[in-house]
Amino acid sequence: MSIKKVLKTAEFQHPHFPKYLGIHYTPEDFDFHSDQNTCDWKWHANQNAIAEIKAKGGQISRIDACTIQSHQTQEILNFIHTHKKNHYVIQHFSQQISGLEVIIPENTIIQKPLNLNIDVFNQLSSNYSLLLNLGTNSRITINQQVIIAGQASNASLIMIGSQNDNSQLKLTTTILNHSNLNLVLFGNLDAARDCQTVWSLTPGIHGGLLGDVAINLNGQGSFGRLNVLKTGTVSDHCGLQASVNHYAPHTKSRINMRGVLFGKSKVNFTSIGNIVKGASGSDAQQESRLMTVGETTHGTVNPVLLIDENDVNAGHAASVGQYDLDELYYLLSRGIPIMQARKILVYDFISPVMQEFDKRIQKIITAAIEMGSGESFNDNL
Amino acid sequence: MAELVIRHLSVAVQDKMILDDVNLNIHDGEIHALMGPNGTGKSTLSETIMGNPRYKITDGKILMDGRNIAKMKIDERARAGIFLAMQYPVEVAGITNADFIHSAMNARTGNQNVPVLQFLDQLHQNMEILNIDPAYTDRGLNKDFSGGEKKRNEILQLMMLKPTLAILDEIDSGLDIDALKVVAKGINSMRDRKFSCLMVTHYQRLLNYVVPDVVHIMMNGRIVKTGGPKLAMDLENTGYEKLI
């Protein structure tokens, strides 16, 4: 049965707007105003990585209503079943399916990072899905950049990844848009036994963002790191939940979320380390921090640890505040101009997450900070 | 040229008066020592000259080379030649020590950047004088430096930035005798007719290695006595109360 037909069954009727601790949003803002029958988009990537993936038996293929394969439908349906009451997930897959699948077969190490660029040109609401599948003992680095270049007021992105035993995935996701946009972003990366998953996300969205991303450590001995870097400028508003779920013993996770708020932007971060009964010997640590640089910014961080097992390590650190005025004073006292001094402190703040991105994406982040630095500040200096 | 003239300076912190009618003249090329008990206003004077916004000038003037600096911003004062070696230098991990010093030098030269090789050559020479491990060039600014290393790093910045007026706020505190000698060597290397300095200290021992031209005693927010280097020695024997 097709995805659209499944979604018309009774099980998926009357979904709700999702609720997240500490994240306040206007549900209608993220509603698609019209059904989009086609998604106008294209993808391109560095040829050396594509050639290496193909030569080693992997594939990168476009998914649409005509070409979708049964295993892809099944993966999507599995995802939908875990989010069946989520209005936005149902909304996403009720549109014409459009996206990309990357498959890396077992025992395959891809040396070249895959720089994957997705350009979306829709004038109306647009949806895009990415499916990732890594075979046992495989390894790849993917730098995914999604640019929403059309005039669409709404968009929806969903990423579904699955890693087999002992595979390693390093994924960075950068999202950019040209005109004001409300974006919903969902992602699940499932890791089997002894996997390593590092997912670094920088949603450079101008407008609104509602996101819920998770790494599921399903197999013993796996490690997941989830990094988030958000720069808010002008009147951007962002609510983002990042979770790592420990479903197996001796799993380890690190969540590191950093947000810099310029102008009148609002950012709510929620980070969840979830260790279920039976995941003994697990270790979940998280750090969520916001730097409020602009004159009238609003930010909250909500660290959550859900622990249902005794023999575990877990901890969190959280902060919301301006840069340290003593540090600013020190830099100024050496003659460094105030604008440059502020930027040094902003870069200092984001450096633990910034270093997870490659140079190309660091340039994009730097540009966002330069843009934000042109707005008013609240340090009275 | 760096002449500092302070006239009838009164300073408050959160409406509490700390400095009361302070007068001080430091002429070109002079090194002055400012001594006094804890909480008497020595650091307040240092921070006020630098422009720390916590300290509000309620009366009086601070003139550098005849120019009233009270209206100047902190970074403008620094670029005009004032340098404050801080009692507790902060750590900023996100910028390396070398990049920070280079940025500060470039800020002083306007649009003309100091060539990198010339900068590094000068940096390494000064680090050698101060017995600073070359590996510290690429470490975050003051990041995980010991107290003594931070103080030496302040003097390294002093030697690189070459200000015309330096204020050294308890540069000797927390230093063992060997480190003190190294720091003193750095300060003495700056001695020049174009370099003036105000050293704030509790201890006479620094003055054995950096001999001041003038010594001032500050108590209760006022400079109560001024004299030559012998004044510091007398102070060591008598203590503050008996000296006044």
User: If you write DSSP's letter for every residue of B200-218 in order, what string do you get?
Assistant: EES-THHHHHS--SEEEEE
Task: Tell me if chain B has a CB within 8 Å of the CB of A371.
Answer: no
For residues A239 and A265, is the Cβ–Cβ distance under 8 A?
A: no
pLDDT of residue B161: 96
Task: Name the residue among B144, B199, B72 with its Cα closest to residue A333.
Answer: B72
Per-residue pLDDT band for A8 (boundaries 50, 70, 90) equals confident
Which helix or strand (DSSP H or E) is residue A226 part of?
strand A223-232
For residues A204 and A366, is the Cβ–Cβ distance under 8 A?
A: no
Tell whether the model's pLDDT for residue A37 goes beyond 70: no
pLDDT of residue A121: 84
For residues A332 and A302, is the Cβ–Cβ distance under 8 A?
A: no
With an 8 Å Cβ cutoff, are A381 and B73 in contact? yes
Task: Name the residue among A205, A201, A186, A210 with its Cα closest to residue A354.
Answer: A201
Residue A363 lies inside a defined structural domain of this protein:
no
Q: Tens digit of pLDDT per residue, chain B (244 long)?
A: 689 999 999 999 998 999 999 999 999 999 999 999 889 999 999 999 999 999 999 999 999 999 999 989 999 999 999 999 999 999 998 899 999 999 999 999 876 889 999 999 999 999 999 999 999 999 999 999 999 999 999 999 999 999 999 999 999 988 899 999 999 999 999 999 899 999 999 888 899 999 999 999 999 999 999 999 999 888 888 887 776 6
Q: Which of A239-243, A301-305, B112-116, B164-168 has the lowest mean pLDDT?
A: B112-116
Per-residue pLDDT band for A62 (boundaries 50, 70, 90) equals very high
Convert the pLDDT of each residue in A42-53 to its tens digit.
Answer: 999 999 999 999
pLDDT of residue A39: 67
For residues A142 and A113, is the Cβ–Cβ distance under 8 A?
A: yes
With an 8 Å Cβ cutoff, are A332 and B74 in contact? yes
Per-residue pLDDT band for A241 (boundaries 50, 70, 90) equals very high
Cβ-based contacts of A338 with chain B (< 8 Å): 73, 75
With an 8 Å Cβ cutoff, are B161 and A335 in contact? yes
Tell whether the model's pLDDT for residue A380 goes beyond 70: no
Residue A340 lies inside a defined structural domain of this protein:
no
B134 CA to chain A: closest CA distance, Å? 21
Q: How many whole angstroms separate alpha carbon A126 and alpha carbon A120?
A: 8
With an 8 Å Cβ cutoff, are B107 and A344 in contact? no
Residue A31 lies inside a defined structural domain of this protein:
yes
Q: Give the residue, A221 or B233, on which the prediction is more confident.
A: A221
Task: Name the residue among A177, A232, A223 with its Cα closest to residue A199.
Answer: A223
Q: How many whole angstroms separate alpha carbon B201 and alpha carbon B223?
A: 14
Number of Cβ within a 10 Å radius of residue A21: 12
Residue A188 lies inside a defined structural domain of this protein:
yes
Task: Tell me if chain B has a CB within 8 Å of the CB of A335.
Answer: yes
Strand pairing report for B56-64 and B4-13:
antiparallel
Tell whether the model's pLDDT for residue A377 goes beyond 70: no
Task: Name the residue among A342, A319, A172 with its Cα closest to residue A258.
Answer: A319
The domains located in chain B, with CATH, are 4-243 (3.40.50.300)
Domain count, chain A: 1
Interface residue of A289, A324, A336 to substitute, partner B, most B CBs within 10 Å: A336
Q: How many whole angstroms separate alpha carbon A230 and alpha carbon A368?
A: 10
With an 8 Å Cβ cutoff, are A327 and B73 in contact? no
Tell whether the model's pLDDT for residue A34 goes beyond 70: no
| Extended beta strands in chain B, E state | 4-13, 16-26, 31-35, 56-64, 67-68, 82-85, 92-96, 140-141, 165-169, 196-201, 214-219, 222-227
With an 8 Å Cβ cutoff, are A344 and B94 in contact? yes
With an 8 Å Cβ cutoff, are A345 and B78 in contact? no
Convert the pLDDT of each residue in A64-87 to its tens digit.
Answer: 888 899 999 999 999 999 998 899
B47 CA to chain A: closest CA distance, Å? 10
Residue A365, CA distances (Å) to A229, A357, A371 in order: 9, 9, 10
* Global ipTM: 0.95
Q: Virtual CA dihedral for B80, B76, B103, B166, nearest 10 degrees?
A: 50
B90 CA to chain A: closest CA distance, Å? 6
With an 8 Å Cβ cutoff, are B53 and A380 in contact? yes
Q: How many whole angstroms separate alpha carbon B212 and alpha carbon B222?
A: 20
For residues A153 and A126, is the Cβ–Cβ distance under 8 A?
A: no
Buried b (16+ CB within 10 A) or exposed e, A214-241: bbbbbbbbbbbbbbbbbbbbeebbbbbb
Residue B228, CA distances (Å) to A92, B184, B190, B212 in order: 82, 19, 20, 8
Q: How many whole angstroms separate alpha carbon B216 and alpha carbon B225?
A: 6
Task: Tell me if chain B has a CB within 8 Å of the CB of A366.
Answer: no
Task: Tell me if chain A has a CB within 8 Å of the CB of B84.
Answer: yes
Tell whether the model's pLDDT for residue A375 goes beyond 70: no
For residues A140 and A169, is the Cβ–Cβ distance under 8 A?
A: yes
Convert the pLDDT of each residue in A108-158 to its tens digit.
Answer: 999 999 999 999 887 777 889 999 999 999 999 999 999 988 778 889 999
Beta bridge partners of A176: A147, A204
Cβ-based contacts of B74 with chain A (< 8 Å): 329, 332-333, 381
Convert the pLDDT of each residue in A159-194 to its tens digit.
Answer: 999 999 999 999 999 999 888 899 999 999 999 999
Cβ-based contacts of A335 with chain B (< 8 Å): 75, 78-79, 104, 107-108, 161
Task: Tell me if chain B has a CB within 8 Å of the CB of A340.
Answer: yes
pLDDT of residue A6: 86
pLDDT of residue A223: 98
Residue A336 lies inside a defined structural domain of this protein:
no
Residue A261 lies inside a defined structural domain of this protein:
yes
Residue A138 lies inside a defined structural domain of this protein:
yes
Write out the residue range of the structural domain in which residue A47 sits: 3-323
Residue A101 lies inside a defined structural domain of this protein:
yes
Tell whether the model's pLDDT for residue A35 goes beyond 80: no
How large is the angle between the packed helices A338-354 and A359-372, nearest 10 degrees? 140
Task: Tell me if chain A has a CB within 8 Å of the CB of B74.
Answer: yes
Q: What average pLDDT does this structure show over A226-251?
A: 95
